A and B are shown apart, each in its own frame.
Chain A
Amino acid sequence: SQQGEEDPQALSIQEGENATMNCSYKTSINNLQWYRQNSGRGLVHLILIRSNEREKHSGRLRVTLDTSKKSSSLLITASRAADTASYFCATDGTSGTYKYIFGTGTRLKVLA
């Protein structure tokens, strides 16, 4: 079963606008990661947030984590056409098995 569920499934915005996508998960975690996948390519790691962190920034990316609600959000500010991709959250478990569960992804389309 999927650990993470992204919302929305698809998002279409104009260049320059902000894009927000959400991830909900089911069990306790050590950390949560966000990945990007361009069409036909492998996934690329964007950012990792640990369970004791509430917010993290990397360039135009801002990630928040609310462990009480078991949810995370990824904000991309001032979006560009090159941000068009699918975005996935991935969560580990606290059992130390080193395996990650990926969500179903949000397909983002940024219109020029």
Chain B
Amino acid sequence: NAGVTQTPKFRVLKTGQSMTLLCAQDMNHEYMYWYRQDPGMGLRLIHYSVGEGTTAKGEVPDGYNVSRLKKQNFLLGLESAAPSQTSVYFCASSYLLGHGSSYNEQFFGPGTRLTVL
């Protein structure tokens, strides 16, 4: 099993350009997440999904859109990139152990390092 994979690994954009980050997982997990990590800020949740066809906003959703058309894929889109979106982006997925409770660990991808000039 590949686990959680992310493409691309690195990307440099100019302000105003758009791009899509792809996250794929082969563990049949229901939940998927997108985080950004900035120095000294830890991880901040951008958007998440609790199942195919559903998405929800996290802490810092502005400037990003997501789609979960297939259970194994979670896409993060930047419509008009800004320098403030320079960051390392991590995707994660998890399964639900107990009904109605979130007793689950998250499995992380290796990250995408994005620079917006």
On whether the two chains bind one another, the answer is yes
Known: A2-B42, A99-B58, A102-B35. A45 touches B102 (CB 8 A): no
Q: How large is the interface on B (under 10, 10 to 19, 20 to 34, 35 or more residues)?
A: 20 to 34
Which residue of chain A lies nearest to B58 when distances are taken between CB atoms in the complex? Answer: A99
User: Are the CB atoms of A98 and B110 closer together than 8 Å?
Assistant: no
Bound Cα distance from A97 to B55, whole angstroms:
11
Task: Identify which of A45, A48, A103 contacts B42 (C-beta below 8 A).
Answer: A103
| Residues of chain A within 8 A of B40, CB atoms compared | 104
From DSSP, what is the main secondary structure of chain B's interface residues?
strand
A30 within 8 A of B: yes
Q: Are A44 and B108 in contact (CB under 8 A)?
A: yes
Name B106's contact: one of A97, A100, A104 (CB within 8 Å): A100
Q: Check A31 against B103 for contact (C-beta < 8 Å).
A: yes
Q: When the two chains form their complex, are residues A92 and B105 in contact, meaning their CB atoms are under 8 A apart?
A: no
Q: Known contacts being A30-B101, A43-B106, is A101 close to B59, with CB within 8 Å?
A: yes
Residue-wise interface mask of A (3-31) relative to B, using a CB-CB cutoff of 8 A (1 in contact, 0 not): 01000000000000000000000000011
What 0/1 readout, one digit per residue, does chain B (12-43) give for beta carbons within 8 Å of chain A?
Answer: 00000000000000000001010100001111
Chain B positions within 8 Å of A, measured between CB atoms, are 4, 31, 33, 35, 40-45, 48, 50, 56, 58-59, 90, 92, 94, 96, 100-111
State the A residues within 8 Å of B (CB): 1-2, 4, 30-31, 33, 35, 40-45, 48, 50, 88, 90, 92, 96-105
List 15 extra interface pairs beyond A43-B106, A48-B103, CB under 8 A.
A30-B103, A40-B111, A41-B110, A43-B108, A44-B108, A45-B107, A50-B103, A88-B43, A90-B106, A92-B102, A99-B33, A100-B45, A102-B42, A102-B43, A104-B40
